[in-house]
A and B are shown apart, each in its own frame.
Chain A
Amino acid sequence: MKPLPKLVLVDDSLYAAQAKIYPREIEGRFARLRTIAVFALLGVFYLFPWLRWDGRQAVLFDLPARKFYIFGLTFWPQDFFWLAWLLIIAGVSLFFVTALAGRLWCGYACPQTVWTEVFLWIERACEGRRNQRIKLDAAPWNTEKLLRKGAKQLLWIGFAAWTGFTFVGFFTPITDLARETVHFTLSGWETFWIVFYGFATYGNAGFLREQVCKYMCPYARFQSAMFDKDTLIVSYDVARGELRGARKRNADPKALGLGDCVDCDACVQVCPTGIDIRDGLQIECIACASCIDACDAVMDKMGYARGLVGYTTENLRAGKPLRLLRLRTLLYGGLLAFLLGTFVWGVAHRAPLIVEVLRDRNALYRRSADGAIENSYTVKLVNKTQAAQRVRLTVVDDPRVTIADRSDVALPPGEVTSVPLTLRAVSPDFSGMVRIKLAARDDASGVAATQTAQFFVPEKP
């Protein structure tokens, strides 16, 4: 028998001491899937800011102008509710997927995983495979080590800087940003956020890696609340694998009293969080399925069936049937459908025009030369459509109050327009305050909105 795995366990400290992890490179079905996910997700991230839509950047969270563009949709500060709704949808989707398929998010889609993967590719290109990397780290500094480490750092920093640049490109037009970068005329805050986000990428994906998942990620801690016995997990088939032990390829394991696990440690070496899946489901497992790929390759070599380590559920392992429809998934699914439906309906039915009427603070009322009573206001008109509007302002259903100074207001597309407005009552037959309703309407497009306002006249003695 070989000695037990050499994981260093440390008394009752909050965090166990941990050897630096050198994940071994792996090929296989799930590794390919992750590569596809990396290209798809990072493709979206790095390419989207460069796409154009209607003569502007397709996806732009224009903070200086306080407007968000997502392809054909424009979000105003008044629509923040819907963006918050969208975040809730994202959260519930995560719950739903977790209940069904476990930590699919961690293994394939989390930015931490995706960027770490790219940083690992760079590391492999510069420093070689796992054993070469360990040897290189242990070796004294020489020219080769300096060159390899230097090249890796240079690529890492370059990639991180490009990431920071792209990130800021979501918030400020990226073509301007590119021009400013080339001419060294980036503003202070742009430079700051490029460096900040680049540094965060470098630190998290290059340096911290699995420690983010183990010590910093809240999702890793509470995801188990979404788990049940029908949740997809990565697991080792103990009944089939034990007793584990090395053997010759053509040896009969039964005769040796061994299970199918050849104890090659491949599953441990490929693990990006440095755990042994054979110890059971652990909170560190991000379900990346690298150990499945590693074990499958070994099983193929040995001529054994695949799946000693595999995706399964607790119930499947116990020989029970798979249940996809259960209270948990139905609840999450129903909630998700409701949230999505409300979002689509709500966003489609957003008000295209907003009117706000602000009273001028100087005086309650003014008496004009002809004896009429006048109140003055500032009207703010928000044209949320992408077309110019020409609205007519009217007082609705109250012939006693009329508009003194204007009727039509031109509203450029997607802009806020403020105009002064004077309302008058020629011979008021009321006293004190009256509420009136102001309407703005473009007869050509039918875009309309109303708002109430107060109109003051002198109290009758």
Chain B
Amino acid sequence: MNRIVPAPVDRETNDRLALAGAIAWPSFFAAGVATMVFFALIDPDELFNAAWPHILLPREFAYTLGFFVFWTATLGASSFTALLLRRPKDAQP
């Protein structure tokens, strides 16, 4: 019987994609939770009033900014973990 078999994807692309996903997704999730907890306890309006009263920032922007600040931090941590866990032979070309 003649079966149609899809062509394999090149391995390096696949590996890199999988690693990027493993770094991006948990850090995204952690940043989401951190953002929720942080802004549930702290009203950005009050925070900015107390800290930088001359800056006028709508809450939506503050939430968005807060999320990406958190994500930068968690993404950094995840990336470092990935880097440190890399086996020596993976680093070779």
- B5 and A189 contact, CB distance less than 8 A: no
Are B15 and A15 in contact, with the CB atoms below 8 A?
yes
A193 touches B64 (CB 8 A): yes
Given that A131-B4, A134-B4 are contacting pairs, would A15 and B14 also be in contact in the complex, using a CB cutoff of 8 Å? yes
A13 with B11: CB separation less than 8 A: yes
Total number of A residues with any Cβ neighbor in B under 8 Å: 41
A contact residues around B63 at 8 Å (CB) = 63
Task: Let me know if A187 is at the binding interface, CB within 8 A.
Answer: yes
Q: Are the C-beta atoms of B21 and A19 separated by less than 8 Å?
A: no
In the complex the two chains form, what is the Cα distance from A265 to B64 in whole Å?
A: 48
| CB-CB under 8 A for A211 and B18, given A18-B8, A19-B9 | yes
Distance, CA A218 to CA B4, complexed state (A): 33
Does B83 reach chain A (CB closer than 8 Å)?
Answer: no
A133 — nearest CB in chain B belongs to which residue? B6
Mark out the residues of chain B between 3 and 24 whose CB falls within 8 Å of any chain A CB in the assembled complex. 3-11, 14-15, 17-19, 21-22, 24
**Is B55 part of the contact surface with A, judged by Cβ < 8 Å?**
no
Q: Looking across the interface, which residue of chain B has its beta carbon closest to that of A80?
A: B40
Residue A176 lies at the interface, judged by CB distance under 8 Å to chain B: no
Residue ID in chain B nearest A79 by CB atoms: B40
Query: CB-nearest residue of chain A relative to B29?
Result: A218
B9 touches A18 (CB 8 A): yes
What residue in chain B is nearest A187 (Cβ atoms)?
Answer: B60
A64 within 8 A of B: yes
Is B52 among interface residues, defined by CB-CB distance under 8 A?
Answer: no
Q: Does B76 interact with chain A (Cβ within 8 Å)?
A: no
Is B58 part of the contact surface with A, judged by Cβ < 8 Å? yes
Q: Which residues of B contact A125 (CB under 8 A)?
A: none
Does the CB pair B22–A215 fall under 8 Å? yes
Within 8 A of B (CB), among A1-55: 6, 8, 10, 13-15, 17-22
In the complex, residue of chain B having the shortest beta-carbon distance to the beta carbon of A218: B26
**Complex interface residues of chain B between 27 and 45 (CB less than 8 A to chain A):** 29, 37, 40-41, 43
Tell me whether A22 and B6 are in contact (CB under 8 A): yes
> What A residues does B19 contact at CB under 8 A?
14-15
User: Contacts A22-B6, A215-B21 hold; do A66 and B43 have CB atoms under 8 A apart?
Assistant: yes
For residues 160 through 206 of chain A, which have their beta carbon under 8 Å from a beta carbon of chain B? 172, 187-190, 192-193
Does B17 contact A189, Cβ atoms closer than 8 Å?
Answer: no
- List of A residues within 8 angstroms of B22 by Cβ: 215-216
A-B contact pairs, 23 of them (CB 8 A): A14-B18, A15-B14, A15-B15, A17-B8, A18-B14, A20-B6, A64-B59, A66-B59, A77-B40, A131-B4, A134-B5, A137-B6, A192-B64, A208-B17, A211-B18, A211-B21, A215-B18, A215-B21, A215-B22, A216-B18, A216-B22, A216-B25, A218-B29
Q: In the A-B complex, list the 6 residue pairs whose CB atoms are closest, starting with the nearest.
A: A80-B40, A17-B11, A215-B18, A216-B21, A216-B25, A19-B8
